[in-house]
Amino acid sequence: MAIEVRIPTILRNLTDGAKAVDGKGGTLDELFADLEARHPGLRARLVDEKGLRRFVNVYLNDEDVRFLGGLGTVVADGDTVTVLPAVAGG
């Protein structure tokens, strides 16, 4: 088992076009580090020095991780993590 991570269109150039990739880790932070090993450049699109990027939404199953523990959110095999760019502007 692994954690499935669903990748939005705009980031699929970093996953060879794949809509979903598998990863592992005990927290979201570890999961992103694991993905970075196989998909270089992906982590920087999700995280900056302050944590999760403000205009990227990351969901653990049906919850926005901002309302869980951010990058420290605990993840486990069988979970699905979904990444969606926020739709926003002025």
* Binding of other proteins by 17 (CB under 8 A): no
- Closest to other proteins by CB, 1 vs 87, is 87
CA pair distance 38, 77, nearest whole angstrom? 18
CA distance 52 to 88: 16
The DSSP output letter for 24 is -
Binding mask 38-67 for other proteins (x = CB under 8 A): -----------------x-x-x--x-x-x-
Decide if 50 contacts 70 (C-beta within 8 A).
Answer: no
- Selected range binding other proteins among 26-34, 35-43, 70-78, 80-88, rule: CB under 8 A: 80-88
